[in-house]
Structure 1
Amino acid sequence: MTTTRPGSPTSARTFVVIGETNLARRVCASSKARKHTVHHLKEPRDSELRAALRDAPDGVAILLHDDVAALRYALAVAHISPQAAITVTVFDRTVADELRRLLPQCDVTSPADLAAPALAGPCIDPANAAVHHESALGTRAVTVRDTGPHTGPWQPHPTRLRRRLGHFAGQLRPHDGGTRLLVIGLLGILGVLLGDWTWLVGHGHHPAEALFHATRVVAAVGPATAPDGAHGYQLAASAAMLATLVFSALFTAGVIERMLGPRLIGLIGPRTLPRSGHVIVVGMGQVGMRLCAELRRHGVPVVGVERDPHAATARLARSLGIPVMTGHGGDRAVLEHLRLGKARALAAVGSDDLDNIAVAIAAHGVAPATPVVIRAGDHEAIAETRSLLPMGTVRDVTGLAAAYVLARLLDEPARGVIAHRHEIYLQRPDATFTHWPLTTRDLCPHLQPGTPTGITDSAGAA
């Protein structure tokens, strides 16, 4: 598990980068810094794409936010230049699988998939740079020492029995007003039933007969018969029937609200709120979803927070059995309700870097001892935040994706990427690591305001 540094390329190469995303600019700038020629296109027409591919480039990187457009450009590149190596970033797994089927030679990846192990590592243990699963060796943790990154086996700290006990304790835990009404109504009805049944059994009635009379009381039709002179029971049964009317109304209101709502959290089953040892993931976009899936894969309970209950990823989380609370991750009441103080970590992985900073500040205000992992990469202010507010582990998702894409363009073997502080490392198939420096996206001169949107070239200098 040694660490190596990338050597200088033996010859300059030519690459085509498609897209105006921060990832595309980062790949372009880093390629230019390595003295390679880059043809950078924003949204090329067919004629522009043919012109860029006329000289048979060594590699093509399609780095867009639109998965369908990425699929179209990949097919067009494969048709125009069949020998070109293609690397495409696609978020939707259905589109990615279809692209792999149509173009087996195409390297299809996703920034969310690349960043998930690097985000999951510090969520599980602040000492981890990443946690990933290997089919032959099981779960492996990457830690960074003085000599560089090293991999080793990792086992979850809580035993399976403790996780099951914690999951059982989370059953029937209300998480909002409607659920609270449902639970209060249900427990009230059950309490009336049990109390009436206990009274009758204690006064000599057969358990089956007592259950029959107690059920009639809960149904508000009264007992079938009442013992002569049992005025105390008659008063108690009358009060129980009146209380049941109230509890039934509460229960019905709760049921209706759950039926009309998105039902992202369950009362029973796998989507109940965890009580301790969990990770709170704020921002259930593509990165948040992949992070939740990665943590669940390692046996760590998770709960998501999403402002839009009708988001496509929120519905996907429901199908995967991941509980998602509707609300703002920077809301103190939400964090307290999710038991942030008992959580293993909080991950702020929304698409807005400044939003993630706000969530981290709120989390430190609620539970200063809980580790925080912050997604970054799309806003320049995050660089200042690293030095001024060292409140958590920062992961540059754009930088991780750019490192992998650049490695694929340069034919460097890489099975993943990890980050430690301000450094990025390629993880090679033989479990070694290569330090992989990148330049800032501002060094890409092609898509600055006022520049043409067609083909622009660079070869080591702007």
Structure 2
Amino acid sequence: MAALPPARQTSTAVTTASSPTPPVVGDGGGSADGTPDEGSAASPKAPATTPPSERFVVIGATTLARRVCASLDGSGHRVDHLAAPDDRDLRRALAARPDGVAVLVGDDLSALRYALAVRHVCDRVRIVVTVFDRTVAQQLRLLLHDCVPISPADLLAPTLAGLCVDPDALAVRDDGHGAVAVRRQRGRLVETPWRASAAARRRSLLGRLRGQLQPHDADARLLLIGLLGIVAVLALDWAWLVSVFHRPVSTAFLEAARVVAGVGPAAPHDGHPGYEVVSGVAMLVTVGFTALLTAGIVDRLFGPRLVGVLGPRVLPRSGHVIVVGLGQVGLRLCQTLRQLGVPVIGVEREPAAPNLRLARSMGIPVVLAHGEDREVLARLGLGRACALAAVGSHELDNIAVAVAAHAVAPEVRVVLRAGEDEAIAETRSLLPLGLTRDIVRTSAAYVTAHLTSRPAGGPPRQVVADTDCDYVDLPAHGLVGWPVPAGDDCGHVPAAAAGDGLDTARAAPGAG
């Protein structure tokens, strides 16, 4: 996805597209539901022309593929939807030279194979392919002409980050020149430079400092207690020798080190039985501290080491964001928050989750636990956190996390990754779970915009998700309200065979 221009103060008109090909830009004034906003200035209008119907090929059996197919079909386009085509099916579908191909499968290796096969058969058709691994995405851009790799997790991360750190922002991201926020002002979406408030920065700093001295896991506590105990015995014995016996600094250090090592004072101290008794007790106590230190070191060496004892990977204690679910969406959200300077804690219940290695390499502290456990949330300092984001791949699990978060800290903002199935809709009506965003709907809007917006001035630059609408940033029109299809069932692939493929995709080694 191409980056937006540097942070700017000028407003971008909010328009609502009547169909995805191309959008008809209306007045800039209006609210999120399309009602006019009195007194707001009108934006320039695009030509209200309707292009002829185009033909597209959609490859994949994921929920995203079905949603894109339904959106294109509902806009009057001709769509060939292939769930898992072989070479013969692919050649047959591409024989008519479609206007675009969307490869929306569940893993990077299959996406790479289909993209190469499509380009081999049709050397000019534009391709939109979902890819998680950024290395694979970069190679696709270099090797294949007119091929656009996108990551649904990257698309939604700025929106989720904005909801976590700023209640008035629709999205917050770092565009390479600083953090910018997308806000709604008088019926328009405007981009302004963003910076955390002074109070939030102070809470984050204090939370990091507290985390250095308040380890979370047992092995870190053992290591820290053993280390601090040994250092304390060494310092006290050295201070006694220097201040009372007036030993040289180096000699005092040698004698104190011998006490800590358990071999006794370096020389007898006649007339000072108190010191000899204290030295003996210190040697005995140091044996226990040494055992704790050794146990902590062994656990750190053979354990996953997902949380640091000291340094950037310690758990922050206030002013942080708790991200439950370290799939593709959760990992990208953590990375985006870290880029914005917001401390973050990841929570993952699967010890063998593939993204744990990536989280560790990015310096993200991760706790292996169930996010719906109220005791876990309390131990992670939910009451002192900025927000909690439940972004796992299973929507009912996200509901459970949101309910537990409301029970532990009702005042903390909850951001929920959720779809639009019946269970989610019913739960929203019964309980204000939090701020929900549908990653499948948002990704479908961006993919359809990429496929259909070329005649309108160029491909989209970003997408911003709102509660009931998505805004696609088109070069010729700015942020345009993208219509939501009436249904997400295209009729070509059974719903039972589909999945979003967002957190189950197998990324290549070195993904990230």
TM-score (norm 2): 0.84
- Which residue does 2:140 correspond to in 1? 99
2:406 aligns with one of 352, 364, 369: 364
Mapped contact 2:215–2:314 kept (Cα < 8 A): no
- Which residue does 1:269 correspond to in 2? 311
Mapped contact 1:378–1:398 kept (Cα < 8 A): no
- Which residue does 1:400 correspond to in 2? 442
Superposition map of 1:250-399 within 5 A:
250-377=292-419, 379-399=421-441
| Residue 241 of structure 2 is aligned to residue 200 of structure 1 | yes
Question: What are structure 2's unaligned runs of at least 5 residues?
Answer: 1-11, 20-49, 498-512
Superposition map of 1:8-407 within 5 A:
8=19, 9-135=50-176, 138-158=178-198, 166-206=207-247, 207-377=249-419, 379-407=421-449
Mapped contact 1:144–1:420 kept (Cα < 8 A): no
Q: CA deviation at 1:305?
A: 0.9
CA distance, structure 1, for counterparts of residue 477 and residue 272 of structure 2? 80
- Which residue does 2:466 correspond to in 1? 420
Is the deviation greater in 354-363 or in 420-429? 420-429
Change (3 A) 1:19 1:224: same
Mapped contact 2:223–2:294 kept (Cα < 8 A): yes
Deviation digits for residues 27-47 of structure 1, max 9, x if unmatched?
011111111111111000111
Q: CA deviation at 1:449?
A: 6.7
Q: Write the letter of the residue equivalent to 2:183.
A: T
Deviation digits for residues 199-247 of structure 1, max 9, x if unmatched?
2233132233222221111111110123212221111111111111111
Question: What are structure 1's unaligned runs of at least 5 residues?
Answer: 452-462
2:492 aligns with one of 446, 450, 454: 446
Change (3 A) 1:143 1:387: farther
- Which residue does 2:500 correspond to in 1? none
Q: Write the letter of the residue equivalent to 2:362.
A: L
CA distance, structure 2, for counterparts of residue 260 and residue 5 of structure 1? 55
Q: CA deviation at 1:77?
A: 0.9
CA distance, structure 2, for counterparts of residue 85 and residue 245 of structure 1? 69
Q: CA deviation at 1:287?
A: 0.9
CA distance, structure 1, for counterparts of residue 492 and residue 279 of structure 2? 81
Change (3 A) 1:248 1:440: farther
CA distance, structure 1, for counterparts of residue 496 and residue 222 of structure 2? 58
Mapped contact 1:151–1:431 kept (Cα < 8 A): no
Q: CA deviation at 1:333?
A: 2.4
CA distance, structure 1, for counterparts of residue 496 and residue 394 of structure 2? 25
Using the aligned pairs only, state the percent identity.
54
CA distance, structure 2, for counterparts of residue 368 and residue 16 of structure 1? 47
CA distance, structure 2, for counterparts of residue 438 and residue 126 of structure 1? 24
Q: How many residues align?
A: 450
SS at match of 2:102: strand
TM-score (norm 1): 0.92
Q: Write the letter of the residue equivalent to 2:184.
A: V
Change (3 A) 1:431 1:249: farther
Mapped contact 2:203–2:319 kept (Cα < 8 A): no
CA distance, structure 1, for counterparts of residue 103 and residue 437 of structure 2? 23
Q: Write the letter of the residue equivalent to 2:218.
A: G
Deviation digits for residues 249-304 of structure 1, max 9, x if unmatched?
11111110111001011111111111211111111111111111111111111111
Q: Write the letter of the residue equivalent to 1:241.
A: M
CA distance, structure 1, for counterparts of residue 266 and residue 175 of structure 2? 66
| Residue 439 of structure 2 is aligned to residue 432 of structure 1 | no
Change (3 A) 1:225 1:151: same
CA distance, structure 2, for counterparts of residue 106 and residue 135 of structure 1? 23
SS at match of 1:174: coil
CA distance, structure 2, for counterparts of residue 441 and residue 170 of structure 1? 47
Is the deviation greater in 213-222 or in 127-136? 127-136
Q: CA deviation at 1:7?
A: 4.3
CA distance, structure 2, for counterparts of residue 79 and residue 157 of structure 1? 52
Q: Write the letter of the residue equivalent to 1:229.
A: G
Change (3 A) 1:183 1:430: farther
Mapped contact 1:26–1:399 kept (Cα < 8 A): yes
CA distance, structure 2, for counterparts of residue 163 and residue 305 of structure 1? 19
CA distance, structure 2, for counterparts of residue 323 and residue 259 of structure 1? 17
SS at match of 2:169: coil
Q: CA deviation at 1:421?
A: 1.6
CA distance, structure 1, for counterparts of residue 263 and residue 417 of structure 2? 59
CA distance, structure 1, for counterparts of residue 463 and residue 157 of structure 2? 10
CA distance, structure 2, for counterparts of residue 302 and residue 170 of structure 1? 12
Q: Write the letter of the residue equivalent to 1:2.
A: A
Q: CA deviation at 1:83?
A: 2.1
Q: CA deviation at 1:76?
A: 0.9
Q: Write the letter of the residue equivalent to 1:356.
A: N
Is the deviation greater in 239-248 or in 405-414? 405-414
Change (3 A) 1:170 1:378: same
SS at match of 1:170: helix
Is the deviation greater in 176-185 or in 255-264? 176-185
Change (3 A) 1:151 1:273: same
Change (3 A) 1:302 1:434: same
Cα RMSD, aligned residues only: 2.0
Mapped contact 2:183–2:190 kept (Cα < 8 A): yes
Q: CA deviation at 1:442?
A: 4.0
